[in-house]
């Protein structure tokens, strides 16, 4: 047997190494955050958040149209991607114990690992060639990126619902589809919301597919078939420009984007933390109210 001291030393060495790696991994995260805040914060004021993008030298220039554009893009992408992703996840989890489910699981993983630029190309050849650079083709590309993420998180969330609840419901003579809707989804709801929010956080920062689809627009634009601005596009274009004031605006836009994505992540954390809290609905009817102790 090795000596006690040697074992103790190895243990300390291992935990020290692991801790060191954590510090190393944190360096990029912290330095990115600091860099973006230091460089971006001076750019941000009310005008910057509410005005549209203008050319270099104009102090009135802002990213208001890009914020609106990003929200629109994400919103339309959710409208297309969330129902498809969630329903796919439900199918794979609840009905997918067969070759269809297995192959869907496989294709989902393939789709999830597709480079986003390829998805952009696909949307370009399918939609942009027909309707032109537009909000709808951007949202379509983002939705395709979203679907496999949402499908996977939905499947995972529903698999967490214990089998005993499925059996309890079926044994009451509840049909399968009602069991899925009323029992399984209601028990896995927190997981579904988490997956949806995470996928939103992911697509909000996508740039490459948008270059090929929504293109960007210096003006206010909300039309489905018009090119539309987006935060990642503004960051990309302004950062590439030779002008210092535009580069400054790129940092500001980056900070806004990071704050938006981070706050989504924080919401996810808060939601998942309260997953196991009781969500008892008060039954608000006469004899139930009567039966409660009156204070």
228 three-state secondary structure: strand
| Region from 26-34, 37-45, 56-64, 163-171 binding other proteins, contact rule CB under 8 A | 163-171
Residue among 70 and 169 whose Cβ is closer to other proteins: 169
Which residues fall within 8 angstroms of residue 55, CB to CB, at 6 or more apart?
Answer: 61
Min dist. Cβ of residue 159 to other proteins (A): 14
> Does 292 contact other proteins by CB under 8 A?
yes
Show the binding pattern over residues 206-235: x = contacts other proteins (CB under 8 A), - = does not. Answer: ------------------------------
Q: Which is nearer to other proteins, 30 or 100 (CB)?
A: 100
Min separation Cβ 74 and other proteins, Å: 29
For residues 142 and 81, the answer to whether their CB atoms sit within 8 Å is yes
Q: Is 13 in the site for other proteins (CB under 8 A)?
A: no
Rounded Cα–Cα distance for residues 264 and 48 (Å): 22
**Residue 107 Cβ, how far from other proteins at the closest point, in Å?**
21
Confirm or reject binding of residue 271 to other proteins (CB under 8 A): no
Q: Considering the complex, what minimum distance in angstroms separates the CB of residue 78 from other proteins?
A: 25
Q: What x-and-dash track marks residues 60-99 binding other proteins by CB under 8 A?
A: -------------------------------------x--
Under 8 Å CB-to-CB from 62, ≥6 apart: which residues? 47, 48, 49, 50, 51, 52, 53, 54, 249
Sequence-separated (6 or more) residues with CB below 8 Å from residue 213: 120, 123, 124, 127, 128, 133, 134, 137, 138, 140, 141
Determine if 295 is a binding residue for other proteins (CB under 8 A): no
Query: CB under 8 Å to 120, separation ≥6 — which residues?
Result: 141, 208, 209, 210, 211, 212, 213
Nearest to 191, CA basis, from 160, 165, 169: 160
282 binding other proteins? (CB under 8 A): yes
For position 273 contacting other proteins by CB under 8 A, the verdict is: no
3 state DSSP class of 257: helix
In angstroms, the CA 60 to CA 62 distance is 6
Q: Which is nearer to other proteins, 8 or 279 (CB)?
A: 279
182 scored as a contact of other proteins (CB under 8 A):
yes
* 102/84 Cα distance (integer angstroms): 17
Query: Please, which of residues 133-162 interact with other proteins by CB under 8 A?
Result: 162
Angle at 201 between CA 74 and CA 152, to 5 degrees: 100
Binding residue for other proteins (CB under 8 A) from 4, 46, 99, 287?
Answer: 287
Residues found near other proteins in the complex (CB under 8 A): 97, 162, 164-175, 178-179, 182-183, 186-187, 189, 278-283, 285, 287-288, 291-293
């Amino acid at each position: 047997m090795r000596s006690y001291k040697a074992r103790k030393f190895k243990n300390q060495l291992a935990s020290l190494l692991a801790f060191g790696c954590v510090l190393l991994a944190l360096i990029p995260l912290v330095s990115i955050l600091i860099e973006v805040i230091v460089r971006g914060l001076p750019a941000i004021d009310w005008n910057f958040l509410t005005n549209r993008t203008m050319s270099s030298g104009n102090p009135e220039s802002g990213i208001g149209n890009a914020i609106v554009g990003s929200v629109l893009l994400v919103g339309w992408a959710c409208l297309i991607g969330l129902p498809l992703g969630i329903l796919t996840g439900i199918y794979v989890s609840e009905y997918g114990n067969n070759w269809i489910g297995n192959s869907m699981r496989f294709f989902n993983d393939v789709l999830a690992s597709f480079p986003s630029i390829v998805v952009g190309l696909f949307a370009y050849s399918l939609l942009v060639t027909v309707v032109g650079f537009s909000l709808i083709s951007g949202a379509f590309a983002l939705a395709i990126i979203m679907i496999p993420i949402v499908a996977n998180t939905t499947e995972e969330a529903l698999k967490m619902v214990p089998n005993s609840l499925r059996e309890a419901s079926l044994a009451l003579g509840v049909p399968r589809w009602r069991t899925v809707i009323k029992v399984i989804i209601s028990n896995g709801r927190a997981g579904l919301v988490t997956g949806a929010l995470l996928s939103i956080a992911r697509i909000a920062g996508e740039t490459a597919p948008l270059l090929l689809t929504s293109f960007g627009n210096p003006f206010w634009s909300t039309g489905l078939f018009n090119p539309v601005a987006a935060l990642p596009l503004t960051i990309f274009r302004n950062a590439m420009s030779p002008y210092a004031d535009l580069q400054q605006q790129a940092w500001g836009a980056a900070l806004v984007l990071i704050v938006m994505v981070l706050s989504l992540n924080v919401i996810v954390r808060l939601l998942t933390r309260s997953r196991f809290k009781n969500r008892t609905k008060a039954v608000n009817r006469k004899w139930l109210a009567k039966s409660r102790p009156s204070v």
